[in-house]
Amino acid sequence: MGKNKKGHGIEWLNGWLDEDGQVRTPETFNPVWGCSHKSEGCRNCYAEAMALRLRRMGNQPNYEAVITDGRWNGEVVADYAMLEKIRRWKKPRVAFVCSMSDLFHEKVPDAFILAALWAMADNPEHIFILLTKREKRMAEMWRQFTEEVNGCPVPKNIIQGVTVENESQLGRLDHLIRLPVKKLVSVEPMLGPLDLSPWMDQIDWVILGCESGPRARLCEPSWVRPVRDNCVATGTPFFLKQMMIWNKLVKMPILTQNKNSRACKRWAQLPKMGAV
């Protein structure tokens, strides 16, 4: 999916520059179909709803095997041929990998995950962003990949993230911070207040957004500001994707610059790539 005049629908895929200062093409890249609910942030899964629509349209046969009665059934389809697509990309891209699934899902074979990490590492002109709620499998597969690299430099073009939707999932960060790549924390959907400060000096990027859709749950502005303040204090890029303001979903809202300021700004910061 290339960039259109309005930019990509996933806001934090927009605005990335390549080494020549040209805007990278934003991409959602899905070599895996299917998933299953892992924690409370999955309750109103947008990917599940979208997969159901695509299945009903009849032009995405892979979704026939992974959706039952309108819900993920726990099965996955991993497509090796999709990994070859990366080598055919001409312009530098920034890609959200498995936007409709989780590369580290229990049903995705180890060999496929390693092949996917190698495909990303072997194409350093592109940036790849991964998110997971399966932090233990993520840590194990990165351990295996690091062993295969066998002393060679770790890839600098991969950003690995975990979702931390509420305080009960903060333990995911203990696994994330041990990885040898850029580290992302996605607080989306934000379902409660949380304190990221014990991990902030080892985090490279924070994305935050409230839940959307007809069954969206509450996200208080008072929960958002402390996360923003943690990022300001440590110089960590902060991307505020969306908030519910006066019962209306506002994309890329403005927020005060810090807890001591009344001046407002739009928070759309991206991390710098390079050395880990």
For residue 3, the model assigns a pLDDT of 40
CA–CA distance, 224 with 94 (Å, rounded to integer) = 26
Please check whether residue 82 is in contact with residue 31, taking contact to mean a CB–CB distance below 8 angstroms.
yes
Does 253 sit behind a cis peptide bond, omega within 30 degrees of 0 on the bond before it? no
pLDDT recorded at residue 62: 85
> In angstroms, rounded to a whole number, what is the distance separating the alpha carbons of residues 94 and 96?
7
* Domain assignment present for 81: no
Residue 248 is predicted with a pLDDT of 87
What pLDDT is stored for residue 15 in this prediction?
96
20 to 24, 45, 159, 270: CA distances (angstroms): 10, 37, 20, 17
| Count of the separate structural domains present in the chain | 1
Closest CA to 264 of 230, 227, 236, 225: 225
Distance, CA of 1 to CA of 100 (rounded, Å): 13
Answer whether residue 242 is part of any domain.
yes
For residue 40, being part of any structural domain is answered with no
Residue for token digits 């204090």?
233
What is the model's pLDDT at position 151? 72
Cβ(123)–Cβ(131) below 8 Å: no
Whole-model pTM? 0.94
Q: Say if 232 falls within a structural domain.
A: yes
pLDDT at 4 (0 to 100): 41
171 is a domain residue: yes
Residues in the chain predicted with pLDDT less than 70, given as ranges, are: 1-6, 261, 275-276
- Residue 168 domain flag: yes
pLDDT given for residue 149 in this prediction:
86
Position 247 scores a pLDDT of 83
The pair of structure tokens assigned to 97 is 């990998």
What's the confidence (pLDDT) of residue 6? Answer: 63
Report the CATH number at residue 250. Answer: 3.80.30
**108 with 130: CB under 8 angstroms?**
no
- Could you list the residue range(s) of the whole structural domain that residue 218 is in? 11-29+92-266
3-state secondary structure of 255: strand
d(CA 219, CA 63): 31
Distance, in Å, from the CA atom of 226 to the CA atom of 216, rounded to the nearest integer, reads 22
Residue 247: burial class (beta carbons within 10 Å; 0-12, 13-18, 19+): exposed
Q: Determine, yes or no, domain membership for 105.
A: yes
Write down the pLDDT at residue 228: 95
Q: Quick check: is 55 in a domain? A: no
